[in-house]
Chain A
Amino acid sequence: MRHLTEEQLIEYGYGEGNKAFIEEHFAACRECEKAYGAVQSDLAEMKFADPPQREQPYGHNVWGRLRQQLPDYEVRRRNWLSGQWFRGLSYALAAALVLASAFAGGRLWERRQAEIAATSHVAPLPPVVKHPPQRVVVVVLSDHLDRSERLLVELKHVDADSTEMVSPLRDEARSLLDANRICRQNAKQDDDPALTGALDHLDRLLAELANEPGGLNKATITRLQDEMNKDGLLFEVRVLRSRIPHAQGAGVESSKGGTI
């Protein structure tokens, strides 16, 4: 049989533990019962002096000493509340400040990014915006004057007897005729009398070259050569052509920009 522990006996001595089990054990075990007798005796001997009696006004004396130490409760509570409120408000303000800063920083960054992006995207566009539609005509005019100059040079030096040489002149004159009319119309709108006058002379010459009834014969070629020399048309075209290069440069750039 397993004996009860000292802990079980002490617990039983104070009226706790499994009483039924312990009493049943005592009935069967004299040794444990004797051991419990010793515990009971020791507990009974543990008698300590009773606390000294305090006089009736003891409580009042305690209160008298204590009262002076106690803060006013409502004031203290208000202070406590205000402290809590202040602390809470501080945290809320700090959090709001952080959020506002983050928001403002984000907005600034976003705006800056947008500006950078806009600048980088817009950069190639200004030439398109800056160039008015007539720049397209400038490009055509420049080209047209080039081709016209070559045609006039060929006409000046052409052999009137050779039909093989004359025929390409007529074809070229036909192809230049439409372009010349457009250029002349545009020059007229731009109120450029020098250009308009030169293109008028060129128009008559091209029209005769292209549409001479009976074809270009020696007499017609000679007559046109004489008119060209007399009017100084080749010189006039060259002068106009020399005026073009600056504009032509811009025009070439604009054409590269996609205007044409």
Chain B
Amino acid sequence: MLRMDKNDHAAIQAVLSGNKNAYGALVVRHSQSLFRVAFRITGNEADADDVVQEAFLRGYLKLETFESRANFGTWIYRIAVRCALDKISSINRMNDRMRVGTETDPEQDEIQVADETAGPDRLLLSGEIAAMQRDAMFSLTPTEQAAFVLRHMEGRTTEEIGDALGIAPNAAKQAVFRAVQKLRRRLSSLKVRT
């Protein structure tokens, strides 16, 4: 990691000295991690690719503000999270405009499965449950969604989430709590308690 940081800093110095191609090494090195978090937040590959592209572009343009003591990986990851947040915010706004006023009846979305045992029915329907969970995810606000992804899937701490989203740690904690609370209620309708 230390060697990678030194390489990152050397590449950054080279870029700032006028060697644009040195940025390529940084892009190659951090693309995978950015794609991963971008996909988890946006939910599809095309949007995730856009987010990765946008994040590296923003990073390049703001490279002069990068502090030499910081970790480039963390810095560009934070930029990618904000790009992803912007992406899903714009998607949500577009969906809101396209909505024609028909609300889905939650009862029709219910898939009733037993939750006590991992029986064959449950296994068969697990794929559908996963799809429903994804839908439930998109019922969250963009901030809740991003906070939940960072907490639940990326394993980030409350402070890291707040830092990445540009909000206070307490606000990040509340965002995670509201997301989990909403998802639990949404998912509880999929279960038939025995």
Contacts and interface: CB of A to CB of B under 8 A. Distances in A.
User: Which residue of B29, B31, B137, B188 has the most chain A CB atoms within 10 A of its CB atom?
Assistant: B31
A11 B48 contact: no
Nearest to A5: B177
Contact of A59 (B32, B48, B177): B32
Contact of A74 (B18, B32, B53, B56): B18
B187 A45 contact: yes
B135 to A, nearest CB: 11
A57 to B, nearest CB: 9
A72 B23 CA distance: 11
B52 interface: yes
Given A54-B32, A72-B20, A62 B15 contact: no
B20 A59 contact: no
A73 B32 contact: no
Contact of B152 (A39, A46, A67): A46
B153 A59 contact: no
Interface string A11-53: 1001010000000000000000000000101110111110110
Interface in B123-178: 129-130, 133-134, 137, 151-153, 157-158, 173, 176-177
Contacts of A191: none
Contacts of A77: 16, 64
25 contacts: A6-B181, A10-B176, A10-B177, A42-B183, A42-B184, A42-B187, A42-B188, A46-B152, A46-B187, A48-B134, A49-B134, A54-B31, A54-B32, A59-B28, A59-B30, A59-B31, A62-B56, A63-B28, A66-B53, A66-B56, A66-B60, A70-B23, A72-B18, A74-B17, A77-B16
A67 B20 contact: yes
Contacts of B129: 45
Given A48-B137, A54-B35, A72-B20, A66 B187 contact: no
Given A16-B158, A51-B40, A54-B35, A73 B177 contact: no
Interface of A: 6-7, 10-11, 14, 16, 39, 41-43, 45-49, 51-52, 54, 58-60, 62-63, 65-67, 69-70, 72-74, 77
B17 A16 contact: no
Nearest to B137: A48
Nearest to A60: B28
Contacts of B52: 62
Contacts of B176: 10, 14
B88 to A, nearest CB: 15
A58 B57 contact: no
A51 B177 contact: no
Contacts of A42: 180, 183-184, 187-188
Nearest to B52: A62
A62 B53 contact: yes
Interface in B49-81: 49, 52-53, 56-57, 60, 63-64
Nearest to A45: B187
B96 to A, nearest CB: 23
